[in-house]
Amino acid sequence: MSELSEGDVAVTLRSVHVYPVKSCAGVALDESLLIETGLEFDRAWMAVDAAGRFVSQRELPRMALVRTTLKHTELVLRAPGMLALHLALDAVEAPNRVTVWNDTVAAYDMGDLAAQWFSDFLAPPSNDAGDVKFPLRLARFDPEQKRLSSKQWTGEIDAENAFGDGFPLLVVSQASLDELNERLARKGVAAMTMARFRPNLVLDGLESHGEDFLDEIRFDTPEGPVRLRLVKPCPRCPIPNVDPETGEPGHEPGDTLSTYRADERLDGKITFGMNAVIVEGIECGLRAGMVGSASIRF
């Protein structure tokens, strides 16, 4: 455990999560390696449309049903009614250029089989995909590409990202989800799981939304010290309203969050969790259950 300084709080890393394919289901890991872009294999792959632009649960909520498993040498993808798709972790095909939000970046196409798999599973029955141009392709992030977070929030830190929305890591406290579920219960709405919010690191030891007020989190690992700086509240799009078990969009938890999570720091946007950048600790392992310390932002 990191030694507590005056004013620090002890935190426990309750769970560690990666989302290998952007907007598909994630996987909880006992341990994950911290690399320049966040956790290893997090948002390393991304489905794109025929124009090379990323697609997500915003347009294709059935992406929530694509389950991921990381094995020693491969990523395995499964979806209802589909044979499993096996992708070697060390193999790519043709170089490509793809667009994630406003960034057009270097990537690698993952081949025709992966493209057909995603196109077949995600094509709407009515062939009305809105702005998404089918067929889809699957891309892998080029690690030589330097895609940086907004310096408005990271300051002096050059925070690299793979295909994540904008920051290397997302941190949420379990207490924040517990409060939300208490509010949902009072409305007669079933409890939500943390899968709705797609965090990388879930913390115990904080009060509800205590992560909003943290400056840095520190862990001592066998490989060396880790320091993570929480830099920006995470504004919430409609993706948490997609049921991860059915792929069906709804109105909760968005309706409930709108009653108490309007954030003045982001001009009233609804936020849940904090985006974080890496100050120190590349090539260190983060393990579920490890205890660290967190400093409060003043």
What pLDDT score was predicted for residue 41?
98
Q: What is the pTM of this model?
A: 0.95
pLDDT tens sequence across 208-244: 999 999 999 999 999 999 999 999 999 999 999 999 9
What pLDDT score was predicted for residue 177?
98
Instruction: Write out the two tokens for 16.
Output: 């560690």
- State the pLDDT confidence band at 125, using cuts at 50, 70 and 90: confident
Residues 6+ apart with CB under 8 A from 71: none
**Can you give the length of the chain in residues?**
298
CA dist., res. 237 & res. 146, Å (int): 25
What pLDDT score was predicted for residue 152?
97
Across 71-168, the runs of DSSP E, i.e. the strands, are 74-78, 85-88, 95-100, 103-109, 137-141, 147-148, 160-161
pLDDT tens sequence across 131-185: 788 999 999 999 999 999 999 999 999 999 999 999 999 999 999 999 999 999 9
pLDDT tens sequence across 6-65: 679 999 999 999 999 999 999 999 999 999 999 999 999 999 999 999 999 999 999 999
